[in-house]
Amino acid sequence: MTNLTQTAIFATATLLILGAGAANAGPQHNCDNYASFAVSDAYAAKKKGCGFKGGRWSTNFKKHHAWCSAQGVTMAMLTTEDRARKTSLNSCNATGGKPTAGQCDKYAQAAIQQQNTNLVKKCGYAGKRWQLKFAAHKNWCMGATKKAMAGERLARYAQLSKCVAGKP
């Protein structure tokens, strides 16, 4: 989804939530729309593997609706919450989210295969990137983003390509 599309969705959601513009969120605002957008964002984050926790990321429509309708919840609070969710989701979109354990297993296997190529071809690369420890590669991956994981794999590939071509 492009930033322009996300901005349009956010603007539409804000207008729907604002309703008549009263200060208290309560029943006079469209809490159905607020809760729908909140749940949609939560599912999007879950699908991306963002790993967000807490009530903001609940996929329970009734919980979001109840919070929106609660006494004392203001329009400013709804807007702040919605913006915080959008900002976090955009950040996750930029990094690709967190990889799953299965993806990290594949990453670690590929890293070991690349290290074996490094050794067989006598490229001489060394360091954390070039080790044969499956657990070390997997643990690094579990703390990284998908974007960082892909970047690391690509960096090893680029180095090996140079070595195999005779240009270390």
Domains of the chain, by residue range, sit at: 3-95, 101-164
Which H or E element spans position 141? helix 134-142
Task: Name the pTM for this structure.
Answer: 0.54
- pLDDT tens by residue, 71-128: 899 888 998 998 999 988 888 877 778 888 999 999 999 999 999 999 999 999 999 9
Tell me, what DSSP letter sits at residue 94?
A: H
- 63-70's contacts with Cβ under 8 Å and 24+ in sequence apart are 64/31, 64/34, 64/35, 64/38, 64/39, 65/31, 65/32, 65/34, 65/35, 68/25, 68/29, 68/31, 68/34, 68/35, 69/25, 69/26, 69/27, 69/31, 70/25, 70/26
